[in-house]
């Protein structure tokens, strides 16, 4: 029962970040602003969803796998953000 | 609980639907790839939720696999747009 | 209508929208980006249909290999304006004809009452694998899988055959220029070890749960490709004997176990007492061969003189 309340709360917070990230991705005016919205907000959302599911997990292995999912998604987002941010710079300003 | 999980997955699917608009419309190529990246994260979240609904072996492994490969489209993109497809995407020195 | 039905209906609508966008989009690059999304949506659909094995294969190939392959191909076809190639009605007719013919063939198939599921279930205890999909692929219909592994190898030979005389035997693709301490270089050193473990895990778990040689091999292929694109490792020269042994090992071991099957009565007949270790051994070696073959297929023909 308590686990269910925790799950619903955490996943709901996660959904908020997904919606916020998507709204930013659609509404922000240029590539770099949009990059902020998607690589930060949605991974925070995924983190809360993962934690919400962890509260229902049936074994230690599942918990480990779930946390690894989040860790890998964070690494991917960090790499993507760096690479695309550099790509989207005007040619003269590339480091 | 299953009802709530479906509702949550449905909300994320709706955000995927909205992001698809950017993949279709751009305007820039970076926008389209960013859209695919955002949808990839959403897909991982949907699979994490479905792993509780289905309680079937392998769904969580699939989420793990997609999280592992999440950056590949973006890496392939910046590489393909560099000089002759083999250049340094972080600026040729 | 339950929430689950609503989820499935929205998923189907998104898949159809993505498919229509891929075919109808005016921008070639946009079509490729949307095709990556399409693959992800299909992966979720396979999970909803209960076919997690297929979902794993689709996810690994779609997210790990086709994206990189198609993005590279689209960049090479780029004429600067980002326009797709000219419309060819003949190709459209041919594709529509093939699709229509296949659809007609599937619809007109006789519908057996229960399919082969009871037969598979009945023989599962002697198959050497608890996962029915692996039992079918490696034991009951091992022929098909052996042929598929051979087809991959032949496809790679076909790609290599396109290399000009002076670079034959050299390394595949071009020399990758990447900053060693840059973001891509770091990512290319961080991820492959984790991916290798995940790939071997998928092969290992494949005998009792969704997974297997193709899924695990594709993951290993994808992270090897990443390490190559990040300049961390070089693909071996195609003249390398060790590389050729690695490529051949999977089909060769599979064939050898098939011939050993004569001891149990027929080609590819596994003695139930040895079936499990045999299947696991074939799967592990096959996965490594598939990984090397797929990665080299994506990198392309040798382009550098030896």
Chain C residues lying within 8 Å of B92, measured CB to CB:
177
Q: Can you give the residue range of the structural domain that contains B14?
A: 2-80
How far, in Å, CA of C84 to CA of C31, rounded?
9
Answer yes or no: is B53 within a domain: yes
Look at C194 and B29 and tell me if their CB atoms are within 8 Å.
Answer: no
Look at C179 and B88 and tell me if their CB atoms are within 8 Å.
Answer: yes
Answer yes or no: is B27 within a domain: yes
User: How many domains is chain B partitioned into structurally?
Assistant: 1
Answer yes or no: is B92 within a domain: no
Which pLDDT value is given to residue A95? 55
Q: Which one of C10, C50, C72 has the shortest CB-CB distance to B80?
A: C72
Mean pLDDT of A68-84: 91
How far, in Å, CA of B23 to CA of B31, rounded?
7
Look at A83 and C191 and tell me if their CB atoms are within 8 Å.
Answer: no
Q: Tell which residue, B65, B46, A17, B62, has the closest CA to residue C4.
A: B46
Could you report the per-residue pLDDT of B20-47, keeping only the tens digit for each?
988 988 788 888 999 999 999 999 999 9
Q: Can you give the residue range of the structural domain that contains C223?
A: 131-306
Q: Are B74 and A83 in contact (CB under 8 A)?
A: yes
Answer yes or no: is C137 within a domain: yes
Closest CA of chain A from C280, distance in Å: 22
Structure-model confidence comparison of residues C263 and C102, the more confident one: C102
Look at B45 and A14 and tell me if their CB atoms are within 8 Å.
Answer: yes
Closest CA of chain B from C138, distance in Å: 19
H/E run at residue C251: helix C241-260
User: Does residue C176 have a pLDDT over 50?
Assistant: yes
H/E run at residue C125: none
Could you give the 3-state DSSP secondary structure of residue C172?
Answer: strand
Give the position of tokens 């050898």. C256
Question: B44-81 burial, b if ≥16 CB within 10 A, otherwise e?
Answer: bbbbbbbbbbbeeebbbbbbbbbbbbbbbbbbbbbbbb
Percent share of chain C, pLDDT over 70: 96
Answer yes or no: is C118 within a domain: no
> What single string gives the DSSP state of each residue in B66-88?
HHHTTTHHHHHHHHHTSGGGTS-
Look at A75 and C190 and tell me if their CB atoms are within 8 Å.
Answer: yes
Find the DSSP H helices in chain A.
2-27, 31-36, 42-54, 60-87
Sign of CA dihedral C152, C153, C158, C161: positive
Contact partners, residue C124, CB within 8 Å, separation at least 6: C130, C132, C135
Q: Are B40 and A69 in contact (CB under 8 A)?
A: no
Chain C residues lying within 8 Å of B66, measured CB to CB:
40, 43, 59, 63
User: How far is C-alpha C99 from the chain's CA centre?
Assistant: 22
H/E run at residue C159: helix C142-160
**Best B73, B84, B89 residue to mutate vs chain C (most C CBs within 10 Å):** B73
Question: C46-73 burial, b if ≥16 CB within 10 A, otherwise e?
Answer: bbbeebbbbbbbbbbbbbbbbbbbbbbe
Residue C31's alpha-carbon distances to B39, C27, C222, in angstroms, are: 15, 6, 22
Mean pLDDT value across chain C:
86
User: How many domains is chain C partitioned into structurally?
Assistant: 1
Answer yes or no: is B40 within a domain: yes
User: Does residue C290 have a pLDDT over 80?
Assistant: yes
Answer yes or no: is C39 within a domain: no
Answer yes or no: is B41 within a domain: yes
Mean pLDDT value across chain B:
87
Q: Which one of C36, C173, C174 has the shortest CB-CB distance to B73?
A: C36
Closest CA of chain B from A67, distance in Å: 10
Structure ipTM? 0.93
Sign of CA dihedral C293, C298, C300, C303: negative
> Chain A 12-31, CB below 8 Å of chain B: which residues?
12, 14-15, 18-19, 21-22, 25-26, 31
User: Does residue C180 have a pLDDT over 80?
Assistant: no
Contact partners, residue C143, CB within 8 Å, separation at least 6: C268
How far, in Å, CA of A28 to CA of A20, rounded?
11
How far, in Å, CA of C70 to CA of C65, rounded?
9
CA dihedral C267, C268, C270, C271 (to 10 degrees): 0
Answer yes or no: is C169 within a domain: yes
Res. B64 pLDDT band, cuts 50 70 90: very high
Which pLDDT value is given to residue C43? 95
User: Does residue A4 have a pLDDT over 50?
Assistant: yes
Chain C residues lying within 8 Å of A79, measured CB to CB:
183-184, 187
Which pLDDT value is given to residue C235? 86
Answer yes or no: is B93 within a domain: no
Which pLDDT value is given to residue C85? 63
Could you give the 3-state DSSP secondary structure of residue C16?
Answer: helix
User: Does residue A92 have a pLDDT over 60?
Assistant: yes
Look at B67 and A56 and tell me if their CB atoms are within 8 Å.
Answer: no
Q: Tell which residue, B34, B43, B42, B45, has the closest CA to residue B71.
A: B34
> Chain A 55-74, CB below 8 Å of chain C: which residues?
72
Could you give the 3-state DSSP secondary structure of residue C266?
Answer: coil
Answer yes or no: is B25 within a domain: yes
Closest CA of chain B from C212, distance in Å: 11
Which pLDDT value is given to residue C212? 83
Answer yes or no: is B20 within a domain: yes
Q: How many Cβ pairs within 8 Å bridge chains B and C? A: 188
Q: Show which subunits contact C, needing at least 3 CB pairs below 8 angstroms.
A: A, B
Which pLDDT value is given to residue B82? 78
Mean pLDDT of A77-88: 87
> Chain B 31-90, CB below 8 Å of chain C: which residues?
32-33, 35-36, 39-40, 43, 46-47, 50, 53-54, 56-59, 61-62, 64-66, 68-73, 75-81, 84-90
Res. B93 pLDDT band, cuts 50 70 90: very low
Structure-model confidence comparison of residues A93 and C144, the more confident one: C144
Answer yes or no: is C24 within a domain: no
Chain B residues lying within 8 Å of A45, measured CB to CB:
41, 45
Mean pLDDT of C19-41: 88
Could you give the 3-state DSSP secondary structure of residue C238?
Answer: coil
């Amino acid at each position: 029962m308590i686990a269910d309340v925790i799950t619903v709360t955490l996943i709901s917070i996660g959904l908020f970040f997904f919606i916020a990230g998507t709204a930013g991705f659609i509404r922000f005016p240029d590539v770099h602003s949009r990059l902020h919205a998607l690589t930060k907000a949605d991974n925070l959302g995924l983190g809360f969803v993962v934690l919400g599911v962890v509260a229902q997990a049936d074994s230690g292995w599942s918990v480990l796998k779930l946390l690894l999912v989040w860790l890998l998604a964070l690494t991917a987002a960090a790499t993507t953000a760096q690479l695309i941010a550099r790509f989207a710079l005007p040619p003269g300003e590339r480091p | 609980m299953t009802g709530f999980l479906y509702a949550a997955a449905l909300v994320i699917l709706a955000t995927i639907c909205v992001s698809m608009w950017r993949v279709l419309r751009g305007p820039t190529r970076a926008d389209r790839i960013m859209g695919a990246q955002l949808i990839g994260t959403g897909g991982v979240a949907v699979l994490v939720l479905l792993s509780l609904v289905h309680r079937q072996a392998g769904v969580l492994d699939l989420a793990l696999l997609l999280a592992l490969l999440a950056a590949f489209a973006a890496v392939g993109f910046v590489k393909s747009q560099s000089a002759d497809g083999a250049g340094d995407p972080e600026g040729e020195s | 209508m339950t929430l689950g039905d609503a989820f499935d209906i929205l998923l189907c609508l998104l898949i159809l929208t993505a498919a229509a966008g891929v075919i109808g989009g005016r921008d070639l690059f946009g079509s490729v980006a949307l095709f990556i999304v399409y693959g992800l949506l299909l992966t979720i659909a396979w999970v909803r249909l209960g076919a997690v094995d297929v979902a794993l294969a689709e996810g690994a190939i779609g997210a790990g290999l086709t994206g990189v392959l198609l993005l590279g191909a689209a960049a090479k076809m780029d004429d600067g304006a980002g326009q797709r190639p000219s419309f060819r009605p003949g190709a459209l007719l041919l594709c529509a004809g093939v699709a229509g013919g296949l659809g007609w063939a599937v619809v007109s198939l006789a519908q057996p009452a229960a399919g082969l599921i009871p037969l598979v279930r009945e023989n599962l205890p002697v198959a050497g694998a608890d996962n029915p999909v692996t039992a079918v692929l490696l034991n009951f219909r091992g022929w098909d899988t052996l042929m598929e592994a051979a087809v991959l190898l032949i496809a790679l030979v076909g790609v290599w055959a396109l290399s000009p005389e002076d670079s034959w035997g050299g390394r595949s693709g071009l020399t990758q220029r990447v900053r060693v301490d840059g973001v891509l270089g770091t990512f290319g050193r961080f991820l492959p070890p984790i991916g290798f473990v995940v790939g071997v895990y998928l092969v290992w778990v494949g005998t009792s749960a969704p997974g297997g040689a193709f899924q695990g091999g594709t993951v290993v292929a994808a992270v090897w490709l990443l390490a190559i694109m990040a300049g961390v490792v070089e693909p071996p020269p195609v003249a390398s004997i060790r590389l050729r042994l690695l490529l051949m090992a999977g089909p060769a071991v599979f064939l050898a176990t098939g011939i050993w099957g004569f001891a149990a009565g027929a080609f590819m007949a596994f003695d139930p007492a040895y079936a499990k270790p045999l299947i696991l051994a074939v799967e592990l070696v096959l996965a490594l061969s598939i990984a090397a073959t797929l990665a080299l297929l994506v990198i392309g023909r040798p382009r550098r003189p030896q």
